[in-house]
């Protein structure tokens, strides 16, 4: 861990989120005063887990109400803070209006937070939770990257409102962040670009697509086989540590691919078999690509997505995160087992 400034408060937007919860935890345990923005500071049930961490930590936790789409909403929360962690952005495939539910919160929320940072003299660094989705849409894009490997120099050029709108939302939001950062000189920007984030939450049931995927795995949706959908995976705790390092390492700059492992859905989930395979209907074999392509519309997947991601290698260079942020990534099996065990405890699925 880097040396953390305990004297100056830090702001974490969307503090009840999956990644944000771990950032708040690490800051509080380090003795930092955390300004946490949430939708409803009176929702004691939703805030219980953060309050429990604060109760047993040297840091102080202060909640502020803020709406991503409301200009000036982050003003009170940002007063006196030195570092802003902007994590708030929807990550879901369950939407009916991509513009309203994905693009607007990501783009306008980023704009509102960063414009407010420009108006707050105390802010010196902003760390934005972006995504590898702002770098690529499909695994097939890797082959088109220089050297066949994704790096921080690559930007997503293939996502759109019509195709993979989540990836599009992360792309336009990060581009807006860099535009605003370059328009001023009071603070500097660092972005964290994680691939699929996995691992345990600090409490409750996060509204994250990561948990939706794992719930389907543990619930038996892939017991007849799983597709080899190529992707990167990373532990949520490593992602949180990347944010902390980005905030408090003075020389940190630019984008950082935060990806512990290049894998695919089947290979990753088969790592759960030694510990959980006897009790849960986990996938044991690969579904052929032609079959996945055939049934794709029936399971809510686009055939273009299948064509660009199944049985195709994912390759990303995480060297910058190791060099500049000092990251060392947890083993994927540890990440997935910790997540699965957490979800059992939270009642996501029962033994058959």
Active-site positions? 170
- Please state at what angle helix 104-118 crosses helix 165-182, rounded to 10 degrees: 10
d(CA 84, CA 14): 12
Exposure string for 162-201, b = 16+ CB within 10 A, e = fewer: eebbbbbbbbbbbbbbbebbeeeeebebbbbbbbbbbbbb
| CA 243 to each of CA 12, 109, 144, 325: distance values in angstroms, whole numbers, following the listed order | 11, 19, 29, 9
User: In this structure, how many other beta carbons lie within 10 angstroms of the beta carbon of residue 253?
Assistant: 13
Q: In sequence order, which residues have a C-beta less than 8 Å from that of residue 11 and are 6 or more positions away?
A: 34, 35, 36, 37, 74, 77, 78, 81, 83, 84, 85
Q: Is 307 left (phi over 0), alpha (psi -120 to 50) or beta?
A: alpha
């Amino acid at each position: 861990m880097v040396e953390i400034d305990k004297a100056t408060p830090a702001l974490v937007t969307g503090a009840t989120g999956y990644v944000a919860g771990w950032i708040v935890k690490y800051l509080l345990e380090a003795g930092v005063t955390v300004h946490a923005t949430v939708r409803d500071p009176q929702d004691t049930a939703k805030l219980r887990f953060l309050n429990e961490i604060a109760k047993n930590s040297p840091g102080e936790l202060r909640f502020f109400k803020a709406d991503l789409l409301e200009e000036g909403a982050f003003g009170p929360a940002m007063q006196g803070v030195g570092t802003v962690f902007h994590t708030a952005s929807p990550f879901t495939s369950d939407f009916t209006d991509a513009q309203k539910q994905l693009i607007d919160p990501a783009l306008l929320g980023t704009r509102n937070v960063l414009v407010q940072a420009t108006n707050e003299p105390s802010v010196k660094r902003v760390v934005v939770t972006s995504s590898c989705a702002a770098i690529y849409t499909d695994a097939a894009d890797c082959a088109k990257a220089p050297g066949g490997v994704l790096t921080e120099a690559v930007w997503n050029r293939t996502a759109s409102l019509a195709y993979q709108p989540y990836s599009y939302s992360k792309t336009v939001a990060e581009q807006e962040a860099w535009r605003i950062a370059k328009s001023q000189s009071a603070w500097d920007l660092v972005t964290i670009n994680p691939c699929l984030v996995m691992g345990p939450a600090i409490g409750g049931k996060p509204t994250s697509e990561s948990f939706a995927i794992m719930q389907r795995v543990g619930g038996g949706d892939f017991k007849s086989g799983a597709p080899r959908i190529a992707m990167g995976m990373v532990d949520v705790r490593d992602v949180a540590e990347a944010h902390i390092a980005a905030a408090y390492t003075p020389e940190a700059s630019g984008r950082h691919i935060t990806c512990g492992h290049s894998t695919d859905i089947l290979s990753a989930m088969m790592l759960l078999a030694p510990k959980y395979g006897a009790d849960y209907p986990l996938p044991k074999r690969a579904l052929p690509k032609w079959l996945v392509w055939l049934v794709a519309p029936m399971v809510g997947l686009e055939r273009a997505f299948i064509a660009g991601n199944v049985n195709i290698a994912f390759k990303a260079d995480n060297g910058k995160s190791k060099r500049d942020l000092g990251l060392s990534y947890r083993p994927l099996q540890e990440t997935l087992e910790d997540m699965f065990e957490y979800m059992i405890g939270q009642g996501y699925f029962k033994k058959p």
